[in-house]
Amino acid sequence: MKVHIGVDAQSGLVHTLIGTAANVHDVTQAQALLHGNETDVFGDAGYQGVEKREENLELPVTWHIAMRPSKRKALPQTAMEKMMENLEHARASIRAKVEHPFHVVKNLFMHRKTRYKGMVKNTAQMFSLFRLANFLLARR
């Protein structure tokens, strides 16, 4: 099982959650994670090519997708590439907000394995856990 979440960049709270089978690629769920008021969307390298997909062509958002780690390491050490590296670092600091709810669920709530058979029950449990994670993160 895989959980895809949409997180608000300012508050760090989860606004959208989708549970899928583990073999479903991240880029196929990108449009479903948007709530409609976004102007900029940040994603990790798993979302590369999302702006070219048919269902995302008409969306009025700017996609900021991370560079693959192998491409980052292969950048030559010129001034332009150092600026690109700084841009990637700035994007990564915004994308890091997505990882905080996962930290709460996995490490603080100790939920590391699915508990039930079936996607419906496991997705329902994920909704509960991420709702509680939102309460915890909002309190901080």
Whether the CB-CB separation of 105 and 130 falls below 8 Å is answered with: yes
Encoded tokens for 35? 């709530």
β-bridge mates for residue 2, sequence order:
20
Amino acid 6: pLDDT: 92
Amino acid 43: pLDDT: 87
Element spanning 110, H or E: none
Residue 78 pLDDT > 90: no
CB atoms within 10 A of CB 87: 12
Q: For the segment 90-117, what is each residue's pLDDT rounded down to a tens digit?
A: 888 888 888 899 999 999 999 988 889 9
Rounded CA-CA distance 104/59 in Å is: 31
Contact residues for 113 (Cβ-Cβ < 8 A; gap 6+): none
Q: For the segment 22-65, what is each residue's pLDDT rounded down to a tens digit?
A: 999 989 999 999 988 888 998 888 888 898 999 888 889 999 88
Amino acid 90: pLDDT: 86
DSSP state, 137? H
First to last CA, the chain: 29
Residue 73 pLDDT > 80: no
